[in-house]
Amino acid sequence: MDCIFCKIINNEIPSKTIYEDEIVKVILDINPNADGHMLIIPKNHIDDFTKLDDNTLLHINKIANKMKDLIYNKLDNIKGLVLLNNYGEFQEVKHYHLHILPNGFNTKTKEIDEIYNELIS
């Protein structure tokens, strides 16, 4: 399979991993729209949200809440989050993933390595 997220999950492509368990991997977006822009990616290849089983969806929401806490505790001046899932022709990578965008879109002020270090410290 030629899925970039599957390759990231299998460590064939490096990533800035923030969290990982048996169901999901959370990484920083390589082209962030915001400081702390994360992706929650299920480890099983699931094309889109219409094919998510209830347990995986519940787990993704649980991890999104954990990442919210991490973002609020580690990053400065957080006013809110945007949770986003693209579907159809707007879904660039055909592997379900949930975007977490602290402070919304176009709020990037720092380099990804600096944000990564703040989040994992």
CATH number reported for the structural domain that contains residue 81 in this entry: 3.30.428.10
- Band (pLDDT 50/70/90 cuts) for residue 101 is very high
**pLDDT higher than threshold 90 for residue 88:** no
pLDDT value at residue 91: 87
| Mean pLDDT on 13-38 | 97
Q: Which residues pair with residue 82 across a beta bridge? A: 101
| Mean pLDDT on 86-97 | 92
Question: 97 an active-site residue?
Answer: yes
Total domains in the chain come to 1
pLDDT value at residue 89: 87
Catalytic residue among 59, 95, 97, 99: 97
The pTM of the full predicted model, rounded to 2 decimals, is 0.96
**pLDDT higher than threshold 80 for residue 1:** no
- Residues 34 and 99: their CA atoms lie apart, in Å, by 11
Q: What is the domain extent for residue 58?
A: 4-120
